[in-house]
Structure formats: C-alpha cells, structure tokens
Amino acid sequence: MTRVGIVAKPDAPRAKGVIAQLLSWLSAQGLGAVLEKETADLASADVPAAADKAELPSQVDLLIVLGGDGTLLSMARAVGDLGVPLLGVNLGGLGFLTATTLDEMLPALEAYLAGRMTIEERMLLAAKVIRNGQPLCEYAALNDVVITKSAMSRIINLSVSVDGRYATAYRADGLIISTPTGSTAYSLSADGPILFPTMDAVVLTPICSHTLTDRPIVLPGGARIEVTLLADQEVMATVDGQVGVGLRERDTVEVRKAASRIRLVRFPQKDFFSVLRTKLKWGER
C-alpha cells in the first residue's frame, strides 16, 4: 500500500481535526494521501494531492471514509468494480457500514498495514430503468433500490416479475429492493428481515401494502427482478437514497446482482452480531 484516499462528510463537526490527524499519521508512515476535492477544502495543512470523487478510487490503494453510512454509500458507487477496500470511520449517527469508531481509526490502520484486518465482500445491485424498450439510465446500489410515490400521489400499482416470470402485483406506497447490506436500512424500518451481510440474496419489501398478506420475500442473489409501473402516477426510483429518476407509466426498473463487489475493512472481532448488539441494542433489557 502506497497511497490512501480520504473522503469526509463536509459538515461533520470533527472532520477538520480528524483529517489533520490522518495526514500527520500517514506522513509518519511514509504513505501518500489523496483527498477528495471537497475534503481537501477542509484541510488546514497543505494537501498532498486532491481528486474528484469519481476519479479518487483509481488513484489509491485504500479509501478512508469519515462520516456516516451515507458518505460511504456514495463512495461505494464511485469505487464500482475497482475493488479498492473502504474503511468507514463513524463521526456520529448509527453507522452500520461506518462501524469503526474514531478512537479505533489509527489502530485499525496499523492493523491493516500489518495484515490483521478482515476484508468483507458485499454484493451490489445493478439497477436499470427501461423506457419504451430502451435503457434510460443505470446505477449501482450497495443498500437498495426504492420505488416510491411522491408525497401527494395515490397508492401506486406495480407488477413484479422474477427471472422473466410474473410473480405478483403490489398496490402500495412503494417497494424496496434490498441487498443483505441494506437489510438493516430502509427495508428494516418497513418490517423487512435482517440478512447476514455477506449473503448473496435480494429482499423485496413492500411499503405500506394495501393487501395485508403481502409480506417481504427473500430471493436468490442471482435473480433478475423487473418492476413495471402500471399507471400514470408521480413515482420515483431512487438508489441508496441518493440518486434517482422519475418514472412514467409502463417504465420498468430491472434489478440484478452487479458483477462487482464492494470490499469493507473491519476488525476481525467486530463481527455482524457485535454490530447489531451495539447499534440495535440486541440482548439488552
């Protein structure tokens, strides 16, 4: 490892101090640093190098993400198929993906250099919007793809096919198509199941379904899911809650497992169940 990328949530209160601490530590280890351009604006010291978010992953061997899960989700999409490991450092909030605390940051980096950290691979979803038989746009998602009505829209009508076969129709406020990683995000709040994050699986979780017997369903990771909007309504398809597109009647959102996977760095002793106990207070009375 020779160069480390640093990305920080711009409005995180402690970001400036943490960036200065990181730059000093990396320099002492003889490692180069490349900062995302907005992050570079937060640095009080001279910045060794800076790059746009989209270009940063190709220039480094490890990405340190300072902030919350939203910041890491954004960088995960930027990493794509490059395979650059991400170390998420939580600067506040719940943080399932940014599970490393600020106090653990430098020990984690020391352990990573010594080869004592675990690298977990997580599946991504590839989501494509098809309009009039032609691809309109395509995104990668680490957490979920959500099809949901606007604030003033009525219940929406969706048709769902799996591997080319009709599966069901939903009359609901929307539908969440989640990875195992995203099963502890929006899907969980809509009563979806918690999946072990390294599984290859996809969860379909309806949002406030009009039919009470509509329950979340877990599908194989390799399933091809097609969701078609059946009526002319104000509906959005969003990816990881950060990017999205407005849908029209008969538009289809095609979701399948992406070819690439995201690599997350964590302490060996900080497994998924320890994160659940910490974040969700499992086992506490």
The residues assigned a catalytic role are: 69
Tokens of 246: 């407005």
**84, 70 contact by CB (below 8 A):** no
Residue 133 reports pLDDT greater than 80: yes
pLDDT at position 124 is: 97
Q: Is pLDDT larger for residue 201 or for residue 45?
A: 201
Helix, strand or coil for residue 153? coil
- In this prediction, residue 183 has a pLDDT band, given cuts at 50, 70 and 90, of very high
3-117+267-279 and 124-260, same CATH topology = no
The answer on pLDDT for 274 being more than 80 is: yes
User: What percentage of the chain carries pLDDT values higher than 70?
Assistant: 98
- Res. 266 pLDDT band, cuts 50 70 90: very high
Does residue 285 carry a pLDDT above 70?
no
pLDDT band at 47 (very low <50, low <70, confident <90, very high): confident
* Distinct helix (H) and strand (E) counts, the chain: 6, 17
Q: Closest Cα to residue 250, out of 165, 158, 178, 140?
A: 158
Amino acid at 23: L
pLDDT band at 150 (very low <50, low <70, confident <90, very high): confident
CB atoms within 10 A of CB 53: 16
3-state DSSP call for residue 104?
coil
Say if strands 62-67 and 86-90 run parallel, antiparallel, or are unpaired: parallel
The domain defined by 124-260 folds into Tumour Suppressor Smad4 (2.60.200)
Mean pLDDT, all residues of the chain: 93
- Asked whether the beta carbons of 98 and 68 are under 8 A apart, the reply is yes
Look at phi and psi of residue 283 and say left if phi exceeds 0, alpha if psi is from -120 to 50, else beta: left
What ranges do the domains of the chain cover? 3-117+267-279, 124-260
- Is the pLDDT at 153 greater than 90? The verdict is no
Q: Output the pLDDT for position 151.
A: 72
Across the range 251-261, mean pLDDT stands at 96
Q: Partners of 265 in the beta sheet? A: 119
Query: What does the pLDDT read at residue 103?
Result: 93
Give the CATH superfamily of 3-117+267-279. Answer: Probable inorganic polyphosphate/atp-NAD kinase; domain 1 (3.40.50.10330)
Across 79-93, 159-173, 239-253, least confident range: 79-93
Q: Tell me the residue type at 95.
A: G
Query: What's the mean pLDDT in 151-176?
Result: 92
Query: What is this structure's pTM?
Result: 0.92
- Average pLDDT, integer, range 226-255: 95
44 pLDDT more than 90: no
User: 195: helix, coil or strand?
Assistant: coil
Higher per-residue pLDDT: 84 or 41? 84
- At 87-130, the pLDDT tens digits run 999 987 667 888 899 999 999 999 999 999 999 999 999 999 99
Residue 24: predicted pLDDT:
93
pLDDT exceeds cutoff 70 at 178: yes
